Amino acid sequence: MNKKIFWSLSLFITFTVAIIVFMLNSHPIEMLPANARDIVVLEIKRVEISEKIDSYLAWVPGEQNSVAAIKEGFSKGDIVYAYDLETGNTRELYDLGEYGLDQRDTIRFFWTADGKRIVLGSGQIFDTKTKSNFALKLPDGYEYLDTYATSPDGKKIFLTGGGENVSGAFVFDIDNEKFTPFQISIDAFTPPLQPAPWKLAFYPLTWSQDGNWFAVETYNPDTPPKSIRDIVPSAIYLISIDGKATRLIASNINGRVIAITFSPDGSKIIWAVANNSGDQSIFIANSDGSNAHEIFSNIGLSSDYNITSNLLWSSDGSRIVYAGPPDKDFNYHVWVLFLGKAGVSTP
């Protein structure tokens, strides 16, 4: 083989390998089975974090192995930290106090996938590019707002609020700075124990990947509470963003749903339940509610396994992440649950 052919062939092979590597990194191989019934937790990993965590978790945009959370500041402002899921190493990303922002009494924290916006539960929005902030102006008569979810594209926020004589829910369009009242007349979401104008009885809430549905917890419509202290089975529904349609995902849940989230492709949903004894479990189902089953339980495990945050699902579908309780020094740890098919080890 002459040198010209050899070098041409070498360059071709190198170029081909580079293209394959790029495609694999750009489009991660789907590890999960197509059906939720075949998905199990294959491995559980504990990641030690040497910081306090005072908010929900969020993925650091553009990073596969880092999550972010807010730590309340004292000498400094509230700080957004990133935590490496491989090493537990911590790095400071933003000192929100420098931009006039704070968590106040909320724990909800959202970071849009494109990295452009951070949304706090208190209704404050931080533009990471311009380093500017925007606080929602309260509707007439309202004294507070609580953020519950952001749309997948980061352009809308679902929130509730109230005042002395008003209460309700809204979808807020960030770009147009417009509040749209969220109205629903379905009996399952009209609590019999609370007077008007409060007309919503669901929590928590997350937004579907296609932007068309909210996933919520409420009580079963056929077993509403008869008193404020009455403990009744709960249910999970999808509610369309216009409030006109619902889909039942799970019913007769004996406990409180403490977290819900969708898979990155929107085909599956997971939720965490804390029963009346304090035990916790994580369930998975297809997004229509079929083939639901338990994939994790802390029964018989130490309290270190308790779920104290929201649930995150990695963009490649392979991992579920949540924060555990703090230790005696108020440092936290994070649990990573590796998903796959039974009998198939993780790579």
* Domain boundary assignment for the chain: 1-30, 31-341
What does pTM read for this prediction? Answer: 0.85
Q: What percent of the chain has pLDDT over 70?
A: 83
Query: At a CB cut-off of 8 Å and minimum separation 6, what does 105 contact?
Result: 122
pLDDT, tens only, 238-283: 999 888 888 999 999 988 899 999 999 999 999 999 988 889 999 9
Q: What is the dihedral of CA 340, 342, 345, 347, to 10 degrees?
A: -20
Mean pLDDT of all residues in 300-310: 93
Handedness of CA 294, 206, 217, 66 (dihedral sign): positive
| Nearest Cα to Cα of residue 100 among 80, 124, 119 | 124
Q: By C-alpha distance, which of 329, 310, 312, 331 is closest to 321? A: 312
Per the model's pLDDT, the better-predicted residue between 1 and 256 turns out to be 256
Q: What local confidence, expressed as pLDDT, does residue 147 receive?
A: 87
State pLDDT tens for residues 73-117: 766 789 999 999 999 999 999 999 888 888 877 889 999 989 999
DSSP state string for 166-225? -EEEEEEETTTTEEEE-----GGGS-TTS-TT-------EEE-TTSSEEEEEEE-TTS--
Of the spans 46-50, 99-103, 186-190, 226-230, which averages the highest pLDDT?
A: 46-50
In words, the CATH class of domain 31-341 is mainly beta
The 10s digit of each residue's pLDDT in 206-242 is: 999 999 999 998 888 778 777 767 788 889 999 998 8
Beta carbons of 334 and 86 less than 8 angstroms apart: no
Q: CA-CA distances (angstroms) from residue 143 to 77, 94, 136, 160, 174?
A: 24, 28, 12, 11, 20
- Strand 280-286 relative to strand 268-274, pairing: antiparallel
Alpha helices in the chain (DSSP H): 3-26
CA distance 270 to 261: 6
What is the separation of C-alpha 335 from the centre of its chain, rounded to a whole number of angstroms? Answer: 15
